[in-house]
Structure 1
């Protein structure tokens, strides 16, 4: 697993912690507690209990026979994170972090959310553990993901619409960190993506790595070998971090991250500091953040997790882009071919697989991480297709 890549809070040149002293004290305490629990048998037994009995793991590695036959070329397997409770991969990390928060004595949970899936997962776990919960969400995202806002409120969370700046995920993260500074005595910030100051990228990757731990064993059982490639969508990078983690040392397995063309941080960005960590950032010559344009709210972020910056720069990971039109097409193709409606975020990975699979031979296999289900996006897609 890639935790071996982390040294002093950095993946190569990326990561670190660039925050005020009062925030650093809070982060140091979280890092110290995480170091104690990540290999603790009692903690992991409790986490595995909830992953199995509450979240419904393990999720299937499904052979997409119809899609494979339609495209020709490589066999396509889908890692079905959409079947996780709450409809995405987000609960994997939420359960780990909320158990960590519980150990630290936190009474209140805060989180940021873009597409709303992390917010829903956080509100779900907070309800189960009886914790007060506040979710920060960009005002623009609350409109395009209104159903998830209602879900969070139904679960007892307070949803704060952030109308500063562009009203997107970046602004939601800003507000969540401000809350943490004011209320760190009783509050735990449950960060959803593999971004932020150390130790958050490592924490998120650690808890999401269950995805690749399962898929690796499942693929070996089904095929007797490792896959040719693993494909996952990348915004901040949590689902891709989890999907890649247990393959990083397998040099023959290609790791392919798929970015939105309108928020292609690795493709178009350059090193900088955002939200307390160093990574690739979409910025102009003066260091001002550039606006992003992505139909998937969960990928609409001007930075990327430091693990992905490292994998890109080292050459271990490959990062490509797809357009909004390709994503809408993939959303429909998977729905009609396999009867699986993917989230718009996941549809980015599917969109690249539609182009990539036919270039390979029938002996090749690829795993596409279906990070979430598309129920939350159906109304948005309906409107987009109606107006085309």
Structure 2
């Protein structure tokens, strides 16, 4: 399991600049629509100092952090759901991502950010409406003699009504029902959304402006970055980057903010494994049972799960080794019902 984030937005709002900063790649950045045609994919190590500290303690040969994948999807335009600007192709690329990060250009004083957000939201709504209406028309006749299909039809009709009203299904009171009943359609409006406001460098500390921009976002987390600054930060060494962040009063870089928001929205967490060969971070859902977490490493470990030796990252760092943690009574043996916690360091026992 990994975190997948799709960067969407109107042309020329700074998506590709931000993508370059997040992934430290060098894709085309141009001031005209559709500088990005095919989606650019970047897989980036998730910032997490714990796995590196574990590697140092265990003198591991290899350090493997969890990853987050970013997709820079070509700028959407009004009419994308009707195919404008190759819109249908771009909308399908969005469907493959777990979280939509809508980049909103807020670096020009004359930008109507609410209107820009509305254009993207409308295209997502219209695209989903077309998908669901096609299914609704298909089921109308066979549903008359089939109770299960009739229930699906009721759900489809309710969702279509909300889309008719211009509502994102992720903001609906019936969101959980739609997520369960309509999961196979991979609906765009059911995907969690983060709004990334791309500010001018001079406005990065403007709290009043940030509050005003946040009001324009129809729910969802809001992040405030300067794509140009993030690009500068990405090109610095680790030590220089820390100093740069302090200078501007940033607690975290853009990738750290976005990854944290994505993890929170999708309900994800990480657990850790460590030994002389490798220290590694694994991504799992929150409240994940221990056997399922073992399955993230290998299916045989889930099928043959016996128990899990668990110690918190902090206790293991303080102890300095598994043997010291066990001697100090800090290591617990947990069974199949144990729900994993973020930062657990684990050794799984299994037999197949």
- The two structures share one fold, judged by TM-score above 0.5: no
Q: TM-score, normalised by structure 1?
A: 0.25
Greater gyration radius: 2
Per the normalisation by structure 2, the TM-score is: 0.27
